[in-house]
Amino acid sequence: MSKKEYKTFDFELSLPYRLAYGPTWTRFFEGLQEEKIFGTKCHQCNRVLVPARSFCPQCFVDIDDWVQVSNEGTLVTWALISFEFYNQPKKPPYAAGLIKLDGADVSMFHLVDGFDMNDLDKVKETLPIGRRVKAVWSEEKKGHILDIKYFQPI
Amino acid sequence: MGRPVAIIGTGQTKHGNRRDVSYPELVREAVKAAFEDSGITPKDIDGVVSGTMPSMMEGIGMTQFYLGDAMAAVGKPILKTETCGSTGMSIAHTAYYWVCSGEADMVLAVGHEKMREGESQAVMSSCFDPFYQKYFTSGAPGIFAMQCQDWATRYNIPEEKVRDAAALLSVINRDNALDNPYAHIKRKVTVEDVKKSPIISYPIRLLDVCPNSDGTCAVIFASEEKAKKIGTKAAWVKGVAYRGEEYNFGDGDKVEWQSAIQCAKQAYEQAGITHPRKELDLVEIYNPFTFQELLIFECFGFSERGKACDDILNGFYNRDGELPCDRSGGVLCTNPIGAAGLIRVAEAAMQVTGKAQDRQVEGARLALSHALGGVMQFNGLMILGSEL
């Protein structure tokens, strides 16, 4: 005996938003437009936090000590995204990674690209943990996180 | 800890593809089952705690409004708790604190999700800020793939060994789910099947990953006085702990994972546990990904650092091993995400009260339940025992 199929209600939600960057993030993204990556240093724990913050999440003190960190750093870990999902920002395969920039004490989340991603073994060979990477800049900069197009193995 | 709190009843839906019912009907199915299990009625309840992850999974913003009727909340106070993947655990904690405070004697906790009604990975991406992190999180598998690679490299665990251990863990969970009448994915697989399944995000393959499930879990918490008066076999809350970390994924260390390590430490202290590996009878770990469960075994002190793979391969976590893991089949086989953490609590409660039927661990007296959430930002635990 087949089970009765009940009705479904199909709809889509699309909503406009305008989110405020605030002074610290505005300055950070203005930096990206000049191909500079800024962090802020906490005077209590002495860590340089990248992307820049207006306060240290561990010490909970205001921070306003701006430090320009390197455009190069070390790959802490990475993932090759091989699956597709609705409204995905990029078509697979693509790689995301955590990059610890020279001069920073925490890692930054970004794309890792600039090499062939169609062969997993080659990707593994190209991206040993600890691999040196550098920022590749987008030609057109909008004061957006993707002004850094991706980080490329050096 | 404050005054003693007991779990006096649990209820679950048959989890899976539940297009046969509306969302309120799905929720009510578990709530009714919890009332039947505990022998009480809605009028005995002082308050209701509800949660989902996140509300927009089903396209309806305020689920506690929409689902209040189905949770027998008419005329009662209702609270909502949402902490991403750990929502189900946080619901249990909220209900526990409410009873523990003395402001309520009996509280109904309900975790629910109808995950198959939306686009789960896209909805989860909406949890992140669009400034820094959203573009790179790429759903849940990406971040867990990163954690696994970081862990295996740090402890120099050979790739093949990690792969074999995770594959065996998938087989163990999937075999366990065959005994669970509520489980979603009930399919026997082999280690080879897991290792040959399609890559989702290296090293994670399809059979290392949980499904999208519809489902609800309801749990009733009661004071000592009420629990004794009702007289059904109760599971007693022995330890409750929760820890958060920084929001920015790159700020914290997800291998020496402080939220997991510290919340376990606190819960063990409360429960008087000094050797979790020996003293616990079973664990219900929140395990949407096999590799992440291996790492949790180490963070919680069941396995030594870098040794979870050896323990899995040696049968330590088997159903007849020294510490059976996820005898329910875990999140790996059933993931209505807002309910998934509360299902861990319910399964642990069923085990220590001898109600776990075909999946009963013989003589279970002390059980640990767990959930995690955020971009690995949160970990929470509840330890349950058979005695006050």
Contact B121 A123 (CB under 8 A): no
pLDDT digits (tens, 9 = 90+) for B227-242: 999 999 999 999 999 9
Contact A111 B138 (CB under 8 A): no
In a domain, B134, yes or no: no
Q: Which amino acid is at A69?
A: V
In a domain, A10, yes or no: no
Beta strands in B255-377 (DSSP E): 282-284, 366-373
ipTM: 0.93
In a domain, B57, yes or no: yes
Q: Considering CB atoms only, which of B59, B135, B142 is closest to A13?
A: B59
Nearest chain A residue (CA) to B122: A86
**Residue A103 lies in domain:** 22-153
- A85 and B137 Cβ atoms separated by less than 8 Å: no
B149: contact with A, CB 8 A cutoff: yes
pLDDT at res. B141? 87
Classified as helix, coil or strand, A31 is helix
Selected for mutation to probe chain A from B248, B257, B262, B295 (highest A CB count within 10 Å) is B248
Q: Residue B175 corresponds to which tokens in the numbers above?
A: 């075999």
pLDDT digits (tens, 9 = 90+) for B149-190: 999 999 999 999 999 999 999 999 999 999 999 999 999 999
| pTM reported for the whole predicted model | 0.97
B200: contact with A, CB 8 A cutoff: yes
Q: Which amino acid is at A18?
A: R
- Quote the mean pLDDT of chain A: 94
Contact residues, chain A, for B149 at CB < 8 Å: 77-79, 129
Q: Which residue has the higher pLDDT, A90 or A103?
A: A103
Q: Considering CB atoms only, which of B56, B131, B200 is closest to A83?
A: B200
Contact A58 B246 (CB under 8 A): yes
In a domain, B327, yes or no: no
CA distance B130 to chain A (A): 9
pLDDT digits (tens, 9 = 90+) for B267-314: 999 999 999 999 999 999 999 999 999 999 999 999 999 999 999 999
% of chain B at pLDDT higher than 70: 100
CA distance B214 to chain A (A): 15
Contact residues, chain A, for B122 at CB < 8 Å: 85-88
Q: Quick one: how far is CA B361 from the chain centroid?
A: 18
pLDDT at res. A2? 58
Backbone angles phi, psi at B8, to 5 degrees: -110, -5
In a domain, A83, yes or no: yes
Contact A100 B135 (CB under 8 A): no
pLDDT digits (tens, 9 = 90+) for B361-374: 999 999 999 999 98
Burial B96-128 (b: 16+ CB within 10 A, else e): bbbbbeeebbbbbbbbbbbbbbbbbbebbbebb
Interface subset of A 81-110, CB within 8 angstroms of B: 81-83, 85-90, 94, 96-100, 106-110
Q: Is the pLDDT of residue B125 over 50?
A: yes
Spatial distance between the Cα atoms of B309 and A22, rounded to a whole number of angstroms: 46
Say which CATH number the domain at B113 has: 3.40.47.10
Q: Structurally, how many domains does chain A consist of? A: 1
In a domain, A100, yes or no: yes
**Residue B35 lies in domain:** 5-120+212-230
Q: Is the pLDDT of residue B261 over 80?
A: yes
- Quote the mean pLDDT of chain B: 96
Q: Which residue has the higher pLDDT, B150 or B56?
A: B150
Average pLDDT over residues A73-96: 90
Q: Considering CB atoms only, which of B122, B153, B201 is closest to A81?
A: B201
In a domain, B203, yes or no: no
In a domain, A8, yes or no: no
Classified as helix, coil or strand, B219 is strand
A45-49 LR contacts (CB < 8 Å, sep 24+): A47/A105, A47/A106, A48/A103, A48/A104, A48/A105, A48/A106, A49/A104, A49/A105, A49/A106, A49/B248, A49/B251
State the pLDDT confidence band at B135, using cuts at 50, 70 and 90: confident
In a domain, A15, yes or no: no
In a domain, A16, yes or no: no
In a domain, A14, yes or no: no
How many helices (H) and strands (E) are present in chain B, helices listed first? 15, 11
pLDDT at res. B192? 98
pLDDT digits (tens, 9 = 90+) for B320-338: 999 999 999 999 999 999 9
- Who contacts A19 (Cβ-Cβ below 8 Å, separation ≥6)? B129, B130, B131
Q: Structurally, how many domains does chain B consist of? A: 1
A9: contact with B, CB 8 A cutoff: no
In a domain, A147, yes or no: yes
pLDDT at res. A1? 46
A45: contact with B, CB 8 A cutoff: no
Nearest chain A residue (CA) to B199: A82
